[in-house]
């Protein structure tokens, strides 16, 4: 099971947390990965930056809504 945490803290919220979450949800549903991916909201990860903070495999990256498909692909390929 892959855990993907999406920051819904105030700075990330302003940068589009909601859209990032919806985009991840949509990809998971479209690809039928509900049993493999667990999406979770999280509070500020102290990575407020250019985009919305996303944590997976113990790393934190920031992403804009339009970058979610590429990031999702990367997460699914990562061990």
Given the rule CB under 6 A, which residues bind ligand FES?
7, 9-12, 44-45, 47-48, 53
Q: To the nearest whole angstrom, how small is the minimum distance from the Cβ of residue 15 to ligand FES?
A: 8
Q: Cβ atoms within 10 A of the Cβ of 12, count?
A: 26
- For ligand FES, the closer of residues 10 and 57 by Cβ is 10
Closest separation between CB of residue 71 and ligand FES, Å? 15
- The residue of the chain with the least Cβ separation from ligand FES equals 9
């Amino acid at each position: 099971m892959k855990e993907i945490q999406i920051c819904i803290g105030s700075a990330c919220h302003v940068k589009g947390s909601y859209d990032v979450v919806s985009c991840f949800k949509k990809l998971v549903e479209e690809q039928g990965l509900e049993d493999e991916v667990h999406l979770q909201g999280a509070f500020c990860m102290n990575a407020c930056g250019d985009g919305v903070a996303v944590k997976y495999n113990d790393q934190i990256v920031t992403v804009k809504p339009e970058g979610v498909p590429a990031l999702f692909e990367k997460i699914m390929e990562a061990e």
